[in-house]
Amino acid sequence: MSEQDFRIESDSMGELKVPAGALYGAQTQRAVENFPISGQPMPRRFIAALGLVKACAARANRELGGLGGEQADAIIRAAEAIAAGNHHEHFPVDVFQTGSGTSSNMNANEVIAHLVAAEGRTKVHANDHVNMSQSSNDVIPTTLHVSAAMALHEELLPALAELEATIRRRAKELATVVKTGRTHLMDAMPLTLGQELGAWATQIAQARARLQDTAPRLWLLAQGGTAVGTGINAPAGFGQRVAAALAERTGIAFEAAPDAFERLASQDTAAELSGQLRALATALIKISNDLRWMNSGPLAGLGEIALPALQPGSSIMPGKVNPVIPEAVAMAGAQVMGNDAAIAVAAQSGNFQLNVMLPLIAHNLLQSLELLANASRLLGERVIAGFEVRHEQLDQALSRNPILVTALNTVIGYDQAAAIAKQAYADGRPILEVARELTGLDESRLRALLDPAQLTRGGIPGR
């Protein structure tokens, strides 16, 4: 690049070359040069939330007399543009940066100051005005919570509600379809497909409940604590006003945390939320693997259902179709589990008054929220909503299932029932036929006792 492609910016450490078209200044450029680690900038949702926090901080400073109306309005306009998703290309700081996220906070301050200057109505200083009453140490934890809460409220919880509704609709449709149950991957007593899917729906409902229980702790914000939690350089009531403005702007019940020291020093709530996301990931992987097994074959596997055919499954085997969405969902779940491990390590790094792995926590937490929201929608819309039941395969397996003999335990005893099961399995004959020969019970009673549909209702058969 030629000299014309740069301009000179300065900060407290001196002068520095900055790309001519960049909206940021010297502190951002130093971070770009200091942290060429992953090539991954902070998540777009985080940057948007950071813009929102800056806008609400300017509003609070105006209300408390720290900023004049013209300066505050200019900062708010610029910050709201960032919150709307504009100018993200001017936020190049790597995720793996200073652990407090100071570089990202100053990146926002500099971009906002440059946008205000470009308007030509007034001038603001990145530190003195845009960062007024704030510290990176409360801005970044606040932004982490705001961005995660918005992702949870706007994306993940609605996606889970849709997934649960889809599963429950299919469970109702399949309420009378009886199939062989399986424990240890081995044949077990029968149940209905509706009951099987109902268990999935309950898993998702419980995941939603756990996330909703965590949410109120996510709404408690660090803003107002400034450097170490004491609120130095922030006027009384600043944090409360910022939280109220964020609540008004987002519809989420944000509040200033009653203990700012805890909000700065720890990331326990982020770790809690990540743990709930890990639990949801395990549920989605379980459901995905059930679908893969049920779809397996179609000739040499279980072949109980046929998933929608979405793409060719092999570059060498013509006609092969694979369960691609369940596989993708399982991989997303595995990534969430890895993210949770990283967040757990990062959450331990709250040395004295500040956690120093905030950017890593924000990156992994927001990725997990996004992955699970997208995976949940795909699983519901492209797999569960459209799979077809292979009734003939279900009925054939059910008729040969020797475990049905369990229903005779209370009539003939465990030992004789076990002998019948072994004989039926060895001969490849239905339980009904072998039981009729070995028990002396009449066929009508045996049919009643061994009726698979009746056995799905629980209780003691024949009573």
Active site residues: 184, 314
Token pair listed for 317: 């085997």
E strand intervals along 53-185 = 178-183
Contact 321, 312 (CB under 8 A): yes
Q: 272 with 214: CB under 8 angstroms? A: yes
How far apart CA 288 and CA 304 sit, in angstroms, is 15
Tokens 């790309």 sit on residue: 19
CA distance 398 to 391: 10
Report whether the peptide linkage leading into residue 43 is cis, meaning its omega lies within 30 degrees of zero. no
What are the C-alpha distances in Å from 399 to residues 155, 179, 453? 44, 10, 12
Q: What is the C-alpha to C-alpha distance for residues 276 and 127, in angstroms, rounded to an integer?
A: 37
> Of the candidates 218, 303, 295, 233, which has an alpha carbon nearest to the alpha carbon of residue 263?
218
Please list the residues that pair with 6 across neighbouring strands: 19
Q: HSE-up of 352 (CA within 13 Å, CB side)? A: 2
According to DSSP, residue 385 is labeled T
Give the largest CA-CA distance in the chain: 100
Given phi > 0 = left and psi -120 to 50 = alpha, else beta, which region is 188?
beta
Inter-CA distances, 321 with 81, 132, 326, 327, Å: 46, 59, 13, 13
Q: What's the CA gap between 32 and 26, in Å, rounded? A: 10
For residues 363, 368, 374, 379, the Cα torsion angle rounded to the nearest 10 degrees is 160
Burial (CB count within 10 angstroms: exposed 0-12, middle 13-18, buried 19+), residue 309: exposed
- 386 CB-contact burial (10 Å; exposed 0-12 / middle 13-18 / buried 19+): middle
> What one-character DSSP code corresponds to residue 407?
G
Reduce the DSSP state of residue 191 to 3 states and report it: strand
Distances (CA, A) of 8 to 16, 26, 34, 36, 112: 6, 8, 18, 21, 18
Read off the amino acid at residue 438.
L
State how far the Cα of 291 lies from the Cα of 302, in Å rounded to an integer: 11
